[in-house]
Amino acid sequence: MKITRDLYQGSLALLTDFYQLTMAYAYWKSGKAEQEAVFNLFFRKNPFQSGFAIAAGLDYVIDFCRNFKFEQNDIDYLAGMTQEDGSNTFESEFLEYLKNMSFSCDIDAIEEGTVVFPHEPLVRVKGPLIQCQLLETPLLNIINFQTLIATKAARITLAAKGDSVLEFGLRRAQGIDGALAASRAAYIGGCSSTSNVMAGKLFGIPVSGTHAHSWIMSFENELEAFRAYADAFPDDCVFLVDTYDTVEGVKNAIKVGHMLRDKGKELKGVRIDSGDLAYYSNKARELLDEAGFPNAKIVASNDLDEHILTSLKLQEASIDVWGIGTKLVTAYDQPALGAVYKLAAIRNEDGLWEPKVKLSQQSIKINIPGLQKIRRFVNNGKALADMIYLENEYLPDDRLVIIDPNDPTKRKKINTYGIESEDILKSIFVAGEKRYQRPDIHDIRKRTFQQLDQFDKAHKRLVNPHIYPVGLEESLYHLRTDLVLRAKDYEKK
């Protein structure tokens, strides 16, 4: 599998918000640059009003961190920055510090293709405060988008109920990088192929495609166009039949199908890209079956998403393969995941970890403090609940209670006797050295399907899903509550 450094050569250290650099300078200036800290990257609400999300983007994160350094041209650019009075924004000694800085953080993350939920750290970064801070923007940029698209693809794949879903979004994607990242994430989420040839080359994703209306229009008539295409691709003929008249298009495809059969080949299928997809797919199926082509597939496209797909399924449309473009790669109905990156703990002068909490008038925005881990409980192959707990915290052997981080009245008791469990945050880097063996992208895609199979159908409903229980272990809940109360008392003084 090709990896992202084939696409992004060298360091991307300046792919950050300016305030990350001003904070880094202030940390250095105040002597806090090397103080050890822990940050968590997480989201607060499931996207698309879904009951889950699919983690994606870790591969990009790994390559970003492995190449994280400030090169001389980065330093030269920063050296040229000035303030309003004409003085340099950054001291030369600070820039020399950046130039000599090497990545040395610990990173734990949830593996790609894992089903995840609000408040769970998708990535946990521990290391020098300045490095943790400088990683915020690029990690959010990577994880936010790819997790969003992988989740959308998973929803569409669930709606397809086993039918193949092809990702066709390159021409409508948000730029070159958006297209490539979207193709990768869509494959992780369950799509079977992409039209994006560069994504196929870089990531090893299967590519697919037929022809456009312009191919038909470049010939005197549709039948001549189909014949010419069959001459070029006798083993892979899927004809686009709606350029002029969909029913006549299917009939012309059948005529060429008989010609192919005379040569020992088979018509692979037809594609419909406009009009009443339920009506025309059923009409196409009727014509194909009557003509002796029951195995020819019917491919549908035209601004589809999981909701339109579900509607077409309810109408018993005769569609075998779904081509999804704009509404998948642009996350049309929710353009951002909204993941955040928050300080959770900092090591004090005595070497002890001090948990940190951010207050808010909205309970959903009060972060979870401390060095967190996530344990998933599974019984007979089915996920029961996820528990967020503190690293090195004593846990009872037999019975646990988890408390909803937004509503303390929602609690769940977990009898752990005979129940399997797994800590889903995995070690990726230790002191800057990669420890994680990256899986093949095809294995990541398989993991998505395996993960989704662990969850009840109610959690995977497209509309009004049943909420999967994710909660704080009791001691973590009480720590958070105590820190909030103390912080509020302090603010009143």
pLDDT digits (tens, 9 = 90+) for 122-175: 999 999 999 999 999 999 999 999 999 999 999 999 999 999 999 999 999 999
| pLDDT above 90: residue 119 | yes
Average pLDDT over residues 93-107: 98
Distances (CA, A) of 185 to 60, 80, 189, 224, 295: 11, 38, 6, 38, 30
Mean pLDDT of the chain: 95
Q: How confident is the model at residue 9 (pLDDT cuts 50, 70, 90)?
A: low
Question: For residue 273, what are its two tokens?
Answer: 């890209």
Instruction: For residue 5, name the pLDDT band (cuts at 50, 70, 90).
Output: very low
How many of the other CB atoms lie within 10 Å of CB of 301? 20
Pick from 295, 292, 219: nearest CA to 262: 292
Q: What is the pLDDT of residue 490?
A: 59
**Are the beta carbons of 331 and 149 closer than 8 angstroms?**
yes
**Whole-number Å distance between alpha carbons of 429 and 446:** 24
Q: What confidence score (pLDDT) does residue 3 get?
A: 47
Neighbours of 211 (CB within 10 A): 18
Q: d(Cα 361, Cα 365) in Å, to the nearest integer?
A: 8
Is it true that 4-149+335-492 and 157-329 share their CATH fold?
A: no
Q: Higher model confidence: residue 241 or residue 2?
A: 241
52 vs 155: CA distance, rounded Å: 9
Pair of tokens at residue 20: 């990350």
Asked if pLDDT for residue 376 goes beyond 90, the answer is yes
Give the per-residue pLDDT at 359.
83
d(Cα 493, Cα 485) in Å, to the nearest integer?
13
Q: What is the pLDDT of residue 367?
A: 92
> Is pLDDT at 486 greater than 80 in this prediction?
yes
- Give the tens place of pLDDT for each residue, 398-452: 789 999 999 999 999 999 888 999 999 999 999 999 999 999 999 999 999 999 9
- A 10 A CB-CB count for 43 gives 22
- Say which CATH topology domain 4-149+335-492 has: nicotinate phosphoribosyltransferase (3.20.140)
Query: How many CB atoms lie under 10 A from the CB of residue 217?
Result: 11
Q: Where are the alpha helices (DSSP H) in 233-303?
A: 246-262, 277-290
Query: Where are the chain's structural domains?
Result: 4-149+335-492, 157-329
Of residues 208 and 492, the one with the higher pLDDT is 208
Check pLDDT > 70 for residue 103: yes
CB-CB contact of 481 with 392 (8 Å):
no
pLDDT for 488 equals 78
The token duo for 489 is 């008392």
Residues 325-357 pLDDT 10s: 999 999 999 999 999 999 999 999 999 999 999
- The whole model's pTM is what? 0.95
Find tokens 């049309």 and name the residue: 332
Tokens of 439: 């899986």
C-alpha separations of 395 from 86, 353, 368, 411 in Å: 58, 19, 18, 17
Residue 257 scores a pLDDT above 70: yes
Q: Is the pLDDT confidence value at 481 over 90?
A: yes
What value, to the nearest 5°, has the Cα angle with vertex 317 and ends 311 and 322? 80
pLDDT of 49 over the 60 cut: yes
Q: What was the pLDDT predicted at 360?
A: 76
pLDDT, position 397: 73
157-329 to CATH, choices 3.40.50.1970, 3.90.640.10, 3.50.50.60, 3.20.20.70? 3.20.20.70
Q: Which residues are CB-neighbours of 134 under 8 A, at least 6 positions away?
A: 13, 16, 20, 21, 24, 68
User: SS3 string of the chain?
Assistant: CCCHHHCCCCCCCCCCCHHHHHHHHHHHHCCCCCCEEEEEEECCCCHHHCCCEECCCHHHHHHHHHCCCCCHHHHHHHHCCECCCCCECCCHHHHHHHHHCCCCCEEEEECCCCEECCCCCCEEEEEEHHHHHHCHHHHHHHHHHHHHHHHHHHHHHHHHCCCEEEECCHHHCCHHHHHHHHHHHHHHHCCCEECCHHHHHHHCCCECCCCCHHHHHCCCCHHHHHHHHHHHCCCCCEEECCCCCHHHHHHHHHHHHHHHHHCCCCCCEEEECCCCHHHHHHHHHHHHHHCCCCCCEEEECCCCCHHHHHHHHHCCCCCCEEEECHHHHCCCCCCCCCCEEEEEEEECCCCCEEECCCCCCCHHHCCCCCCEEEEEEEECCEEEEEEEEECCCCCCCCEEEEECCCCCCCEEEEECCCCEEEECEEEEEECCEECCCCCCHHHHHHHHHHHHHCCCHHHHCCCCCCCCCEEEEHHHHHHHHHHHHHHHHHHHC
